[in-house]
């Protein structure tokens, strides 16, 4: 390994963490546990939040540039959350993905791959206990199920147990009620709406994870369906309990935090030369709450001691009981102080505070019938109010995103990081430095590549060899970037990244514009931020890449005045820029008209003109913001690129209007082209986690090779067909409604 590896490994082992993202409920719980475990096991963690392997989405694929980067860094070991990463790839592809890391010791949390030790939950016993509770304790017989993605080990085991328990109970499963999902929130909403539309409702909806269960619950409530009175809902993994003030959801706790901690501990043991087991299975257990029909007014007290952390809860309950008696006896120490200390202890251990609410319920049940019941109730009520307020103070990034949509947070951050009216990179960097420090970034680094990087495949990339630090914050103080020379990209920073008293956990996120990668943002995430890491990455990426693009134009104009030969070359570059749409990279109106004139005058074959108009862009902009609107426009552009050939003229004519001129397609191929476009749109909509979808209305017209002067007339003809299609779509939607 190169010398930079030794500089990278300062004193303690540096372990890479591969995960799907940084801000989902699952990953947030895992990261919280790993922050504590890193200190306990005396290791440093470098997190690479990429995306699903083998994804078809061009935008999402760009995040996977982090994985080949991690493979080149000489890490001491690798902790991979494989089940969340794995997309629609084969076991051979998964093995090839891990092969790029060479002999680095690897431990996987979920998602088995041959030869890699795995930590996983006991999905079978957990789902068995849940189904037996629903079938035998509640007597439910008609159940719906929304599952996880294909080729996901957890999803497969949970679905198999669902069918097995029905078979054992002699209850038939209705295939129409087994719905597909991807462990994503929108899948839960889609399942709920499908069940409402099909009617009558089943007795219970079993969701393969909490995210889908909670979203389904919200959808039912929005449509006047009561939970659990009209339909019971249960989830799996008990991550809902990590969202403050979330609905009381019956779930199976598989303890993601303990699995993450165990995975890191096993990896450390392997680094120390120990032999570790090939598979470590974590027990899972049912937690009954109101959403399945449990815990009505008569059974609340009976189940109040269904602790999530029994080893902590029982001593804490006795401590609270004594504090309550002292408070009632007139002691100076308030009951709330003891509750706050216990809550702080829970959170410091990486646990949620659901058990504290159960303790208060239990003490309330004990107070009934006592002479001072009224005073006890008052003290407990005040403590409950404090706990609710404290939960709100501890609100995590997932819940914050539900209150403040990502487009709004991006707008706020962009305004905070703006560099004034000029796009000079120096102005941008100064603003970013101040903004990051204000967010609590004690250690942060912005590095730019010496040339543009590219993703060539979901499992391969072209990284420039060198990078330059343009922004550095170390222990809360700004570094002078000019003092540091260029360095190998795999080194991340020009100096050792981990240092004392620096952070123990860092995240590396890519800065890119479309498919061009310009650099990395490296953040100390030993403590959580007030905003999501992805929102921060998006804004920093946008402002930095905009500055780079504008800087390139400025340098080009300077060259024009210095050298005629360079001026001619640069003029061609500027001309190309003037004929292309900045957002999508497609031709703009000018570029399309110039190219169309050439094809019409010099082509030897008939041409086919297509005009397209996005459906619902205004709705996306109004409901999700212009960042989402821009992403939808880029998605339509990608659909058109995939639907036509390389030599065709594809243009964004302005706003939500597109045009294509093809010399390869006869007029009778319209049906084929239309079907291809619709298929690619459907693939995008099915593969995205966004709450918005894309759609495109199109019209076609044949073009004769000598018809250049009549192009405007042909646009009118194609437009007529386009708007007829729009009218038919609207009419169809009205009839469907």
Tell me if 683 is assigned to some domain: yes
For the chain, what percent of residues have pLDDT higher than 90? 17
Which pLDDT score is estimated for 51? 80
Does residue 229 sit in the same domain as residue 154?
yes
Pick the closest to residue 109 from 363, 292, 356, 282 (CA basis): 282
Does residue 588 sit in the same domain as residue 637?
yes
In the predicted model, is pLDDT for residue 132 greater than 90?
A: yes
* Sheet with strand 607-614: strands edge to edge: 649-654, 657-662, 607-614, 696-703
Does residue 76 sit in the same domain as residue 168?
no
Which pLDDT score is estimated for 715? 61
In the predicted model, is pLDDT for residue 556 greater than 80?
A: no
Tell me if 424 is assigned to some domain: no
Does residue 137 sit in the same domain as residue 111?
no
Phi, psi of 557, rounded to the nearest 5 degrees: -65, -35
Which pLDDT score is estimated for 190? 92
pLDDT tens, residue by residue, 702-717: 776 554 455 555 566 5
Instruction: Match 């292309």 to its residue by tokens.
Output: 580
Answer yes or no: are the C-beta atoms of 316 and 157 closer than 8 Å.
Answer: no
Distance CA 241, CA 211 (A): 11
Quick one: pLDDT band at residue 2, thresholds 50, 70, 90? very low
On average, the pLDDT of the chain sits at 78
Which pLDDT score is estimated for 4? 33
Quick one: pLDDT band at residue 167, thresholds 50, 70, 90? very high
Does residue 594 sit in the same domain as residue 695?
yes
Who wins on pLDDT, 81 or 719? 81
Does residue 590 sit in the same domain as residue 701?
yes
Does residue 523 sit in the same domain as residue 609?
no
> Would you say how long the chain is, in residues?
737
Phi, psi of 41, rounded to the nearest 5 degrees: -95, 0
Which pLDDT score is estimated for 550? 62
Please tell me which of 90-94, 299-303, 529-533 the model is most confident about, judged by mean pLDDT. 90-94
Does residue 458 sit in the same domain as residue 489?
yes
Quick one: pLDDT band at residue 572, thresholds 50, 70, 90? low
Quick one: pLDDT band at residue 37, thresholds 50, 70, 90? confident
Tell me if 303 is assigned to some domain: no
Who wins on pLDDT, 380 or 74? 74
Determine the structural domain holding residue 158 and report its residue range: 123-253
End-to-end CA distance of the chain: 64
Quick one: pLDDT band at residue 189, thresholds 50, 70, 90? very high
CATH number at residue 191: 3.40.50.2300
pLDDT tens, residue by residue, 648-701: 889 888 888 898 888 766 767 888 888 999 999 999 888 888 888 999 988 887
Distance CA 275, CA 266 (A): 9
Beta-carbon count within 10 A of 283 CB: 12
Who wins on pLDDT, 216 or 718? 216
Does residue 713 sit in the same domain as residue 685?
yes
Tell me if 723 is assigned to some domain: yes
Task: Collect all residues with Cβ–Cβ distance below 8 Å to 26 and sequence separation of at least 6.
Answer: 20, 84, 211, 237, 239, 256
Distance CA 468, CA 470 (A): 6
Tell me if 633 is assigned to some domain: yes
Burial class (CB in 10 A: 0-12, 13-18, 19+), 566: middle
In the predicted model, is pLDDT for residue 563 greater than 80?
A: no
Which pLDDT score is estimated for 723? 62
Does residue 97 sit in the same domain as residue 140?
no
107 token code pair: 């431990």
Which pLDDT score is estimated for 92? 84
Distance CA 442, CA 434 (A): 11
CATH number at residue 602: 3.30.70.270
Answer yes or no: are the C-beta atoms of 212 and 146 closer than 8 Å.
Answer: yes
In the predicted model, is pLDDT for residue 418 greater than 70?
A: no
Does residue 16 sit in the same domain as residue 89?
yes
Answer yes or no: are the C-beta atoms of 201 and 142 closer than 8 Å.
Answer: no
Packing angle of the helix pair 533-560, 425-438 (nearest 10 deg): 160
> What does 136-176 look like in DSSP terms, one character per residue?
IIS----EEEE---TT-HHHHHHHHHHHHHHHHHT----GG
Which pLDDT score is estimated for 605? 66
Distance CA 226, CA 416 (A): 42
Pick the closest to residue 191 from 218, 216, 222 (CA basis): 216
**Count of the separate structural domains present in the chain:** 3
Quick one: pLDDT band at residue 396, thresholds 50, 70, 90? very low
Does residue 730 sit in the same domain as residue 606?
yes
pTM exceeds 0.85: no
Q: What's the rounded mean pLDDT across residues 41-61?
A: 82
In the predicted model, is pLDDT for residue 587 greater than 80?
A: yes
Tell me if 707 is assigned to some domain: yes
Pick the closest to residue 506 from 519, 489, 488, 493 (CA basis): 493
Of 253-262, 627-636, 697-706, 707-716, least confident by mean pLDDT is 707-716
pLDDT tens, residue by residue, 143-155: 999 998 877 778 8
In the predicted model, is pLDDT for residue 417 greater than 60?
A: no
Who wins on pLDDT, 3 or 503? 503
In the predicted model, is pLDDT for residue 402 greater than 60?
A: no
71 token code pair: 């493979």
Domain boundary among 493, 528, 563: 528
Tell me if 625 is assigned to some domain: yes
Distance CA 302, CA 265 (A): 37
Distance CA 408, CA 414 (A): 10
Tell me if 413 is assigned to some domain: no
Please tell me which of 358-362, 391-395, 546-550, 677-681 the model is most confident about, judged by mean pLDDT. 677-681
Quick one: pLDDT band at residue 584, thresholds 50, 70, 90? confident
């Amino acid at each position: 390994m190169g010398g930079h590896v030794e500089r990278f490994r300062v004193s303690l082992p540096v372990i890479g963490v591969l995960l799907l993202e940084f801000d989902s409920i699952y990953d947030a719980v895992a990261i919280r546990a790993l922050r504590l475990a890193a200190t306990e096991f005396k290791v440093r963690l470098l997190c690479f939040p990429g995306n699903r392997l083998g994804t078809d989405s061009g935008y999402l694929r760009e995040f996977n540039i982090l994985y080949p980067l991690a493979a080149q860094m000489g890490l001491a070991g690798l902790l991979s959350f494989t089940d969340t990463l794995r997309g629609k790839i084969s076991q051979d592809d998964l093995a090839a993905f891990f092969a790029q890391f060479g002999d680095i010791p690897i431990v996987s949390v979920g998602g088995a791959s041959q030869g890699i030790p795995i930590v996983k939950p006991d999905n079978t016993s957990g789902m068995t206990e849940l189904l037996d509770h629903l079938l035998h304790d509640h007597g439910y017989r008609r159940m719906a199920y929304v599952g996880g993605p294909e080729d996901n080990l957890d999803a497969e085991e949970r679905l198999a147990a669902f069918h097995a328990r029905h078979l054992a109970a002699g209850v038939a499963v209705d295939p129409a009620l087994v719905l597909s999902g991807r462990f994503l929130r929108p899948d839960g909403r889609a399942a709920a709406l499908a069940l409402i539309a099909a009617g009558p409702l089943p007795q219970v909806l079993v969701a393969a994870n909490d995210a889908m269960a909670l979203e389904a619950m919200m959808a039912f409530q929005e449509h006047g369906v009561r939970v659990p009175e009209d339909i019971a809902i249960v989830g799996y993994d008990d991550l809902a309990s990590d969202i403050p003030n979330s609905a009381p959801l019956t779930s199976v706790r598989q303890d993601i935090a303990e699995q993450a901690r165990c995975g890191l501990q096993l990896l450390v043991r392997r680094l120390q030369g120990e032999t570790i087991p090939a598979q470590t299975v974590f027990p899972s257990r049912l937690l009954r709450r109101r959403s399945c029909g449990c815990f009505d007014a008569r059974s609340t007290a009976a189940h109040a001691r269904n602790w999530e952390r029994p080893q902590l809860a029982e001593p804490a309950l006795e401590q609270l009981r004594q504090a309550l008696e002292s408070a009632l006896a007139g002691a100076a120490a308030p009951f709330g102080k003891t509750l706050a200390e216990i809550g702080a202890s829970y959170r410091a251990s990486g646990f949620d505070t659901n058990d504290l609410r159960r303790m208060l319920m239990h003490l309330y049940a004990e107070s009934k019938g006592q002479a001072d019941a009224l005073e006890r109730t008052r003290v407990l009520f005040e403590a409950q109010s404090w706990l609710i307020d404290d939960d709100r103070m501890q609100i995590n990034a997932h819940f914050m995103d539900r209150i403040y949509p990502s487009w709004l947070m991006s707008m706020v951050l962009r305004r905070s990081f703006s560099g004034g009216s000029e796009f000079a990179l120096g102005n941008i960097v100064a603003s970013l430095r101040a903004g990051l420090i204000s967010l609590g970034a004690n250690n942060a680094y912005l590095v730019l590549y010496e040339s543009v990087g590219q993703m060539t495949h979901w499992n391969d990339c072209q990284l420039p060899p060198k990078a330059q630090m343009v922004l550095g914050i170390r222990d809360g103080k700004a570094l002078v970037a000019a003092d540091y020379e260029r360095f190998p990209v795999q080194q991340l920073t020009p100096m050792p990244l981990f240092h004392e008293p620096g952070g123990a956990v860092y995240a590396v996120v890519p800065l890119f514009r479309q498919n061009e990668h310009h650099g990395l943002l490296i953040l100390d995430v030993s403590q959580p931020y007030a905003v999501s890491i992805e929102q921060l990455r998006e804004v920093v990426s946008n402002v930095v890449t905009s500055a780079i693009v504008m800087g390139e134009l400025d340098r080009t104009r300077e060259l024009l005045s210095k050298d005629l030969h360079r001026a001619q070359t640069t003029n061609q570059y500027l001309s190309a820029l003037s004929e292309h749409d900045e957002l999508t990279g497609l031709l703009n109106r000018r570029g399309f008209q110039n190219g169309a004139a050439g094809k019409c005058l010099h082509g030897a074959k008939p041409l086919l003109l297509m005009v397209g108009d996005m459906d619902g862009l205004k709705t996306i902009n109004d409901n999700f913001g212009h960042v989402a609107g821009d992403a939808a426009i880029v998605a339509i552009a990608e659909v058109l690129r995939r639907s036509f050939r390389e030599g065709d003229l594809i243009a964004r004519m302005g706003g939500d209007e597109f045009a294509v001129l093809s010399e390869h397609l006869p007029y009778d191929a319209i049906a084929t082209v239309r079907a291809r476009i619709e298929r690619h749109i459907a693939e995008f909509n099915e593969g995205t986690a966004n709450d918005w979808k894309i759609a495109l209305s199109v019209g076609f017209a044949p073009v004769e090779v000598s018809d250049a002067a009549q192009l405007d007339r042909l646009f009118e003809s194609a437009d007529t067909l386009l708007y007829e299609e729009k009218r038919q779509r609207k009419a169809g939607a009205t009839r469907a409604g």
